[in-house]
Chains A and B, each alone.
Chain A
Amino acid sequence: MMDFPTLIQILDSTVRLGVPLLLACLAGLYSERAGVFDIGLEGKMLMAAFFSGAIAAVTGSAWLGLLAGIAGSMSLAVVHGLAAITFRGNQLISGVAVNFLASGFTVLIAQSWFHEGGRTPALMSGGRFGPIILPGAEALREVPVLGPIYYELLSGHSILVYVAFACVPLTWWVLFRTRFGLRLRAVGENPAAVDTAGVSVVRLRYSAIAIAGLLCGLAGTYLAISLSAGFGKEMTGGRGFIALAALIFAKWRPVPALGATMLFGFLEAIANRYQNIDLGIVVLPVQFMQALPYILTVIILAGFVGKAIPPRAGGEPYVKER
């Protein structure tokens, strides 16, 4: 059904398509572990995609684009923080607002700055994060089996891909091996206890939201100036929601988040490559493959296959006792 070079190609696109999901999923993980629901991942990614694309186009520097992307994502994180933490509003409604804000704002500004129908100008190579060839990749290229795996699959990605993968063990370490991580998880389960211990719930939740903003900034930047050569209208295309699905799939844990996002990236890679998949007995249409991440998430949420239990204080604004 599939030969080796094809498999390598599909796995390679799995990595490329899985990385923005991974970054956004980890963003959601920090936020939700601290007890703040975040359905605004999509919006923050979109904002980052636009600002990174725009600034990289104007300055010709991918690094300045990255900074601008993070700043764009952070600005929405602050809006979410004000609504969800400071003013104790409904976190879900705030997330919805963040998504629409990004969806409208990016096109409005893109049109006003560049007059290209809501896109940013196509980037030259300097404005993009180019591939990094790992040491020895060229030399090992001709080695059977291992050569293509090393050269095509592991080597030749942009720096953001390697950063994303490094974020997985880092997140695990921060959450489960540092005092900050312990407090962060505690504030998502029982904020009153954290408050009693003399630690500021508000500051912890803002830190979590800021980290989420940073990671969504990386995700959006990757989409706009690494995977593509510029920002396009609605270019996140629901990836923020797939990341949210992956977060539930991974039950709010960093290492399974890697597995879930790569699985969903794999499904997307397959759906991009094949129109229909003939399994012999049934033919799976491409629309089924596209819907599969969402269907799997609903099944997981239903708790028939290992129940996903969210952080207990998720979605609840914390009101200090007087």
Chain B
Amino acid sequence: MTCRVVAVALWFLPITTTRADEAAMLTQIERMSALIESLQRRIADLESHVATGGRDSTRLPQPDRVGDPSGASSLGAQAASAAKPATLEKRPIAAEPASAADPVFAAEPATVVSGYGELNYNRYLRDSSRSRADLRRFVIGLNHRFDERLSFVGEIEWEHAVTSASDAGESAIEQAYIDYAIAPSLSVKTGLYLMPFGFINQAHEPPAYYGVERNAVETRIIPSTWREGGVGLSGTTVQGWSWDAGVTTGFSIARFSDASAPLASTHQEMQLANAHDLATYGALNYRGVPGLQIGGAIFRGNAGQGNATYLADRTQPDLSGVHAPVTLWETHARWQSGRLDLQALYARGTIGDAGQIDATLAAWNTANSASRAYVPSAFYGWFVQGAWRAWSSGEASVSPFVRYERFDTQASMPAGFDRSGVNADRVATLGLSFRPHPQVVFKADYQRYLDNAGSSRVNLGMGYLF
């Protein structure tokens, strides 16, 4: 290429330099040649930069050396002297690709459909009329990657098989957020997302946990599947630490309706959520030793929401002046080594202004001949669990487990308001999980409620994740 350009330059030089002496002309030719060579090097550098996305500083081979057959022969000659020479395919020497430029994976669709679900059967031992078979959840995930840093995560959930005005089922958006990778170990997300509490809330697909039903602590105390709308940051370190922090919507105390699950009945799930009061959360986990996870999380935010429910509907209890600060914290640990899987978790929550709230509710109940539930000042729960992979063959496995848990959703009530015994219990669970594939599970367990024996039951379940 250099020669061709120099020749063209020489062709025109006599016209433009007819009066130049021979020495000046040669000097000019040398300068132009040097300039052309410099430009060629610059073009090669730019080609390399573009080809590697600017991430790998290795230059591309010079164009006339790409696919150099002698190079391929050299590789082939080395391979031919080896033990399995006939199995090597000779390929032309290729440019070093960018790390994410795999020809097959690059063709993966930007939008990925995922899903999980579960079907459960609960057989109550004292009163079989309570027994139920239920397509508990059917969830479709939609994940889309806009580019290497920006992605969307969404989940649509149907519960109890049929959703209509006259049926018990419900459909809900469980997650819908945009995630942006600020740096390799730091990302920010905005939208409706899962709160980083406990084991199950973020990893709630049936193959991920033991037992047909999710444990009581992570449903009654931590209101799994708990999601809020907001902005969150997440980070990890190479030493094994991971952290989360953010600002989100919070609970609405005016929605309180279930004393057996204080926060599950007051979470808003971004359904026209009252947002007078925002909340903050933080979580920290350590996984720096393989098999070990230890961590905790805390959430705090007012649930008064500016008395918005009453101001919109004057027939509701007037909670003016109520801030109802909600604090929920938990700590957890897990140890997985070989066939052993041990877990423990403790969670506790408090609701401020409970006395004022319950006094208002009591007056409202009296005036309306109603029986709205009263708000606790504190609630807590904990469990310990051990599982053992007793049998495995290829991808299939059978893991029996045992769990003991204790919860009290009315651990502390305002003065003058009584606790109900049905909202506290100790539960012993014995069961097993059969996984024909790591992402498919069949479960069976027996749960004995030690304080409310009428709730003891046998459960069967099927779950999947893809």
| Chains A and B form a bound pair | no
Contact surface of A with B, Cβ cutoff 8 Å: none
